[in-house]
Amino acid sequence: MTIQYRVLSLLRDNGPLSRAQLADRLEVPRPRLLGELDRMVAAGRVREAGPAASRGGRRSTLVQLDPGVRFAAVDLGASSIDIEITDGALAPVAACSEPADIRSGPQVVLGRVSELLHALADQGHYTRLDAIGIGLPGPVSFREGVPVSPPIMVGWNRFPVRDTLARAHSCPVVVDNDVNVMSLGEQHSGVARTVDHLLFVKIGSGIGSGMHHHGRIYRGAEGCAGDIGHVQLEADGPLCSCGNTGCLEAYFGGVALSRDATEAAKSGRSPALAERLAERGVLTPVDVAECANGGDGTSVGLIRAGGHRVGQVLATLVSFMNPSMIVIGGGLAGLGYPLLAEIRSVVYKRSLPLATGNLPIVMSGLGPRAGVVGAALLASELAYGEASVTGDAEPPVR
Amino acid sequence: MTIQYRVLSLLRDNGPLSRAQLADRLEVPRPRLLGELDRMVAAGRVREAGPAASRGGRRSTLVQLDPGVRFAAVDLGASSIDIEITDGALAPVAACSEPADIRSGPQVVLGRVSELLHALADQGHYTRLDAIGIGLPGPVSFREGVPVSPPIMVGWNRFPVRDTLARAHSCPVVVDNDVNVMSLGEQHSGVARTVDHLLFVKIGSGIGSGMHHHGRIYRGAEGCAGDIGHVQLEADGPLCSCGNTGCLEAYFGGVALSRDATEAAKSGRSPALAERLAERGVLTPVDVAECANGGDGTSVGLIRAGGHRVGQVLATLVSFMNPSMIVIGGGLAGLGYPLLAEIRSVVYKRSLPLATGNLPIVMSGLGPRAGVVGAALLASELAYGEASVTGDAEPPVR
């Protein structure tokens, strides 16, 4: 890590610091740090912000990030675009969201992203962007900045997402999959801030996970680590969209839960769900959550059965990776306590006792914002020069 | 990593190098390196070994490890002690092995280890040890150098293994569990030498795993990562020694295989196994391997059924960690091709295609020596000053 990156990320995460505080925290020889700071001030990357509070002796000068820095954080879902513009410390200065069908293809969806970004510029939220971070709902070659065989992103395979946005907005761009982006957000600004071994689990339409070790995502040999949606639970289980049987996603996730709720409504097992289905023509996980809150036993049962399946997979992962915290995020985290209780019950019962003795299992602290927070963080890492984002420190993704 | 560690480990892994070669490989300013080398020569850690081959210009001097360096590598199994004495480059200079019952307790077993070490000294294989590395067949707090609630090591819980051996032999000692030690051996000198994301699986009496990321073991929050023997495969499966049902070890591993082979012999399903049982009174995995080689279908079936169960767990781990190689070691690796074929078949069928596209699944290259090779490596890392062995770089194990 360069001194420049370490200075910029400290200022991002801690606000303005005096030269003396920076020297203390960075453990770099003071003359070298001061020389670097002078160069960064001259280059406009940081600026001086008056004298710091006295610590006795000569007063040190406060240093802060250039207040004009702007990052764009883009979170693409299966059916939504969420954007935040942030300052250099990742505080949001503007945001916008709208529905969008990822299956419209990259030209349409990225075209709309660019229009929304230009509109935010026209509204005065930025004049130029320092970097863009974007999360996609599918596997991504992090090094190349392209989606790789993404199952639900029809027409996106190997589309040059990074280069397209970089050309349109004349700034560097970093692309990652949505689970990694959300887990980064949770690690940086959510419930997992001080956690060394984080297991983040996203339960949305599908199910994925991200493993962090001392604050860094573990990506694996081909960059596809964490893809647990197609772990087989029962050889003779239901058919999955991937062609195998009994996968985790064949049992749970937004798609499976909507299917099971519709079946429960039609079969007469749940009058509450049947009433909603009659009203709306279609059932979503939100309907199941609301019926469960309203006391519908069948809905509670569907949530618990799903939590049980997730818990089975997590029990194996806990024995294997021995995390220090599990965070559950994604749209279905909104199913709340019945889901969490069931996941906890299975993991605590089934994993190695030594691995669960001090293991909290909690809901995401950032909720639906996890994606944009993580995307803004990635953008800042890129702009501030962190090697792993520029691709130097990670193995090649073939 | 200190320059001293980097010099010593380069000489260990590459043999004598010239000062010029060391300067090239270490990318340290040349005057700083030469000063450090002078200090290391003066301290007797390395010595000069004549002029290097000319590269044009002034000849550089060859530097080599002190030939008097000695490490002791100790591999304790459930029923065996294996010891190697190595030089500074980990080449074995002497070895001894004998049966020993780990349940005799630490006083007896470590007492015998010390006797064997003293005998090797008396035979002239060393005058003093620079470090000892020891692997134990159970969970170990790496930082404290003690076993923690080891299931098969009766009487060993929190026994000060490190401090006992250090006092007896007046040298630093490093203690780790057997799976980590074997996987380190495989990573350093076996089939996994150039592998960045290694998943090592030991199938012995029980089953465990070790995950490596860029050459380092991933230990997890409490230091117990990799403990996959008690992953549940079927809720209504056979009772396991841990008290749960349907664990991987309830289906396979040396204990389960001996149980199933005995049952097959007694029930008349395998005349070949029945004959051996009558001869010897007890069946071991070696009997099953020999009967399978001799064409006994029931024995082949037992091996394949076990391989299938291991494959089920590995398929989940492959989707989760996306390794670049899987190495199968431990005593039951001797079951050979039927085991490997079944594991491959399940993993290649069930894991994410992107994760298995370039994934070799191979047998250990070091076989029964993996443990002592890894223990010698750990000893050298400790003696040469690698921070992660002295406990600085890893999170605390509570």
Range of the domain at A214: 194-365
pLDDT digits (tens, 9 = 90+) for A140-166: 888 899 998 887 888 999 999 999 999
Identify the pLDDT of residue A357: 84
- Residue A210 inside a domain? The answer is yes
Q: Which residues of B fall within a CB distance of 8 Å from A358?
A: 221-222, 398
Cβ–Cβ < 8 Å for A373, A190: yes
Cβ–Cβ < 8 Å for B134, B114: no
Contacts of B380 (CB under 8 A, 6+ apart): B8, B9, B12, B71, B88, B90, B131, B133
- Residue A145 inside a domain? The answer is yes
Interface residue of B179, B231, B397 to substitute, partner A, most A CBs within 10 Å: B231
Separation CA B96–CA B121 (nearest Å): 12
pLDDT digits (tens, 9 = 90+) for B153-171: 889 999 999 999 999 999 9
- Residue B395 inside a domain? The answer is no
Q: In percent, how much of chain B has pLDDT > 90?
A: 73
Last residue of a domain, one of A16, A48, A65: A65
Looking at the fold, whether B310 and B237 belong to one and the same domain comes out as: yes
Q: Closest by alpha carbon to B178, among B158, B206, B143, B199? A: B206
Looking at the fold, whether A178 and A200 belong to one and the same domain comes out as: no
Identify the pLDDT of residue A101: 94
Last residue of a domain, one of A65, A81, A104: A65
- Please determine, for residue B40, whether its predicted confidence score (pLDDT) is greater than 70: yes
Paired residues of A16 in beta bridges: none
With an 8 Å Cβ cutoff, the interface of chain B facing chain A consists of 139, 148-149, 196-197, 209, 211, 213-214, 218-228, 230-232, 244, 312-313, 315-317, 319-324, 350, 352, 354-355, 357-359, 395, 398
Number of domains in chain B: 3
Place of tokens 């030939």: B67
Identify the pLDDT of residue B395: 38
Q: What is the pTM of this model?
A: 0.89
Look at phi and psi of residue B38 and say left if phi exceeds 0, alpha if psi is from -120 to 50, else beta: alpha
Average pLDDT over residues B121-138: 96
| Closest-CA residue of chain A to B197 | A221
pLDDT digits (tens, 9 = 90+) for A2-25: 889 999 999 999 999 998 889 888
Cα distances (angstroms) measured from residue B323 to each of B136, B313, B326, B343? 25, 14, 7, 15
Looking at the fold, whether B244 and B347 belong to one and the same domain comes out as: yes
Q: What token pair was written down for A293?
A: 């809150």
pLDDT digits (tens, 9 = 90+) for B197-226: 999 999 998 899 999 988 889 989 988 899
Looking at the fold, whether A206 and A348 belong to one and the same domain comes out as: yes
Partner residue facing A232 (CB), from B211, B315, B320: B315
Interface residue of A149, A247, A316, A347 to substitute, partner B, most B CBs within 10 Å: A316
| Rg of chain A in Å (alpha carbons) | 23
Looking at the fold, whether A164 and A114 belong to one and the same domain comes out as: yes
E runs forming strands in B55-151 = 61-65, 71-76, 80-86, 92-99, 131-136, 140-141, 146-147
For residue A247, the 8-state DSSP code is B
* Torsion sign over Cα A138, A144, A148, A154: positive
Q: Closest by alpha carbon to A334, among A284, A286, A266, A390? A: A286
Q: What token pair was written down for A347?
A: 């993991």
The verdict on a CB contact (< 8 Å) between B228 and A355 is no
Average pLDDT over residues B127-145: 92
A297-321 vs A271-280: helix crossing angle, rounded to 10? 100
pLDDT digits (tens, 9 = 90+) for A238-271: 998 888 899 999 999 999 999 999 999 999 999 9
The one-letter amino acid at A358: N
Last residue of a domain, one of A65, A81, A99: A65
Interface residue of A216, A318, A322 to substitute, partner B, most B CBs within 10 Å: A322
- Residue B44 inside a domain? The answer is yes
The complex scores an ipTM of 0.87
E runs forming strands in B258-369 = 325-329, 361-363
